[in-house]
Amino acid sequence: MVAKGKRWPISILSVLLVSLGLLAFVGGSPAQTRQRILVHVDPAALRSADPATAYDAPSIQTIRGVYEGLVTYKGTGPDIQPVLATSWESMNSGMVWRFHLRRGVKFHDGTSVDANAVKFSFDRFLKLGKGGAGNFEPFLSSSGIRVIDPYTVEFRLTKAYGPFLETMASEFGPWIVSPTAVRAHEKNGDMGADWLKDHDAGSGPYTIQSVTPNQQVVMVAFKDYWQGWAPNNFAEVIIRTVPETTTRRMLLERGDAQLVNRPSPEDADALKRNPRIHVYDDPEMRNLWIILNTRREPLNNKTVRHALSYAFDYKGFVEKAEAGYATQARGPIPARMWGWDSSLYQYSFDLQEAKTLLAQAGYPRGNFSMVIWHLTYDDMRRAAAVFQGGLQQLGIDAKIQQVTGGALFDAINSADPKKMPDALTLYWIPDFADPLNFLYPVFATASIGKGGYNGSLYSNPAYDSLIGMAFGEPNRDKRIAIYKKAQEILVEDAPHLWIADLHNIVATSNTVTGYVFNPYLPQTFNYHGMRYKP
């Protein structure tokens, strides 16, 4: 049908076109952030700002900005430096530790940081029993924490624990909170847990101004912070949740963000070409493994495990799959961790050697199948794919399955070889700066099943005995000697493929300086040490 009089269709069309046109003029990019505000865009959101219970990276990022512990790690390494404690000594072969506190430090609510606050914080931490409390429970109880005088606090351990100081410097748990603030907001005996999810009771450089769930955390400078402020410190830090990596990159390049955490390797490469952006690329403590089920045939045969260790294209994975943002691993602990043994044997991609070893083990043409699990993370998925490629060239039928964290933990905690797949890719990040946090929870016999993380179901009494010695040894040099032997056993027994030490990638605008990455404080930032460059 033909419409007579075309004025009204033209009217509709005109309205549509004009509306679209107006949009072009109405729009405008958001206002540039003020210079003294640091906008940090991160893929995941804060879950809880409670320092005693938080255990995820986004929450710890905020916590590190608003709280302090007695000690922390120094610079970029594992050495311990004083924070709220100025000095400490150990007595009785490491069974007693005494800390002397810094005077004149205030919490954000104006009350003083003293020994009572330290005892209160640790009591609360242990009583709530969540987050990083599991790292302390083996050697510390509330009754062992004593106030000697207003600025001296003593920790009496229930058993000797070599890495005590390293655990105290950890970012998972031993933060000091204001008892006054916590008690004032306690509800139904929750020890202030509800309130602390989105408020703070700390003494750190920043204080939480607001938390908008799943959107952002706004922290403002605490003007009475004991370390003081430089003229070009950031007055405000906003951590904004932006899950999509491409969006984070665009925000940084447009100047609407100044710090981006974990850009993808592809985005990192592109950002490196932008003269207004600086990309930090540092090996970190996160190392990627392929865990083999040592209780299932034929992987219960060490020679087969050696063969599979030669079936992975390590160089190809590092250079192509990770675009150079990784380093091939040498052994079970990352190269940056003190105690790492640089003389350890390192497997290479050698299919001929793999075939020879398989033939020795009675599988000359492979002819068995494997299931490889991985979580949703890209690097795990890629590692599984690379492994599958190598295995198929050996005549091994390998299938890859993506699983959820729940399924993975379930299988590992079951300690049932039938519930575990033949192999799974995983990475590990330590809670504190000691190789024990790799070597015990992942490889000790006691770590099989609930509460542990021994996914390979590996068990070696000689290894267990060594690790037991390290537990109670306070002398670091002696621990290094123990760890060297432990690493040699693991490389020989090959319960895992040691794939790569992954890199921490952070990109900042050139207007930001002072960012320092400490692999012992992973996935967090030294906001107070960062400056803006006008």
Partner 1 sequence: MLLRYVVRRLLLAVIVLLGVTFLTFAVSQLIPGDPARLAAGPHASEASVERLRREYGLDRPWPVQYVDFLGRLSRGNLGRSVQTDRPVRDEIGDYFPATAELTLAAIALACAVGIPVGVLSAVWRNSWLDHSARLFSLLGVAVPSFWLGLLLEFVFYYRLGWLPGEGRLGLVTTAPPSRTGLLLIDSVIVGDMNAFGDALLHLVLPAVALGYNSLALVTRTTRANLLEVLHEDFVRTAHAKGLRTRSVIFGHALRNALLPTLTIIGLQFGYLLGGAILVETIFAWPGIGTYALNGILNLDFPVILGVTTTVTLIFLVVNLIVDVLYATLDPRVRYA
Which residues contribute to the site for partner 1 (CB under 8 A)?
A: 1, 3-5, 8-9, 12-13, 15-16, 23-24, 26-31, 33-34, 37, 39, 47-48, 55-56, 129-135, 137, 172, 193-194, 197, 212-215, 238, 240-244, 246-247, 250-251, 253-254, 256, 376, 404-411, 413, 431, 441, 450-451, 453
Closer by beta carbon to partner 1, 8 or else 104: 8
Phi-psi region of 80 (alpha: psi -120 to 50; beta: other; left: phi over 0): beta
CB of 130 to partner 1, least distance (A): 6
Q: Are 69 and 125 in contact (CB under 8 A)?
A: no
Q: Which is nearer to partner 1, 131 or 519 (CB)?
A: 131
- Closest to partner 1 by CB, 203 or 261: 261
Report how far apart, in Å, the C-alpha atoms of 102 and of each of 46, 75, 318 are: 30, 20, 45
CB 303 within 8 A of CB 364: no
**Minimal distance in Å, beta carbon 29 to partner 1?**
4
Alpha-carbon dihedral angle through residues 310, 314, 316, 320, given to the nearest 10 degrees: 150
Q: How far is CA 44 from CA 68, 97, 165, 255, in A?
A: 23, 37, 30, 20
Q: Which is nearer to partner 1, 43 or 389 (CB)?
A: 43
- For residue 287, the minimal CB distance to partner 1 (Å) is 15
- Alpha-carbon torsion (245, 248, 252, 257), positive or negative: negative
Whole-number Å distance between alpha carbons of 61 and 46: 9
- The two three-digit tokens of residue 245, written as one number: 């990596």
Report residue 494 as tokens: 């090959």
Q: Strands 369-374 and 397-402: what pairing?
A: parallel
Q: Cβ(333)–Cβ(519) under 8 Å?
A: no
d(CA 207, CA 188): 25
Q: How far is CA 189 from the centre of its chain?
A: 31
Token look-up 């493994």 returns 289
We find the least distance from the C-beta atom of residue 525 to partner 1, in angstroms, to be 18
Least distance between partner 1 and beta carbon 289 (Å): 14
CA angle 319, 320, 323 (to 5 degrees): 70
C-beta of 488: minimal distance to partner 1 in Å?
Answer: 25
Find the shortest distance in angstroms from Cβ 216 to partner 1.
8
Q: How far is the CB of 405 from partner 1 (least distance, A)?
A: 6
Count the Cβ atoms, other than its own, within 10 Å of residue 369.
Answer: 11
In terms of CB distance, is 270 or 361 closer to partner 1? 270
Name the residue nearer to partner 1 (CB basis): 219 or 238: 238
Compare residues 355 and 496 and give the one whose CB is closer to partner 1: 496
Which CB, 99 or 125, lies closer to partner 1? 125
Instruction: Report DSSP state, residue 133.
Output: G
Per-residue DSSP letter, 139 = T
Give whichever of 299 and 408 is closer to partner 1, judged by the CB atom: 408
Q: Give the shortest CB-440-to-partner 1 separation in angstroms.
A: 11
Question: Closest separation between CB of residue 77 and partner 1, Å?
Answer: 22
Nearer Cβ to partner 1 (152/511): 511
Q: Which residue has the tokens 């929750």?
A: 190
DSSP 335-369: TTSTT--TTS------HHHHHHHHHHTT-TT---E
Answer for the pair 346, 340: CB distance below 8 angstroms, yes or no: no
Cβ–Cβ < 8 Å for 484, 341? yes
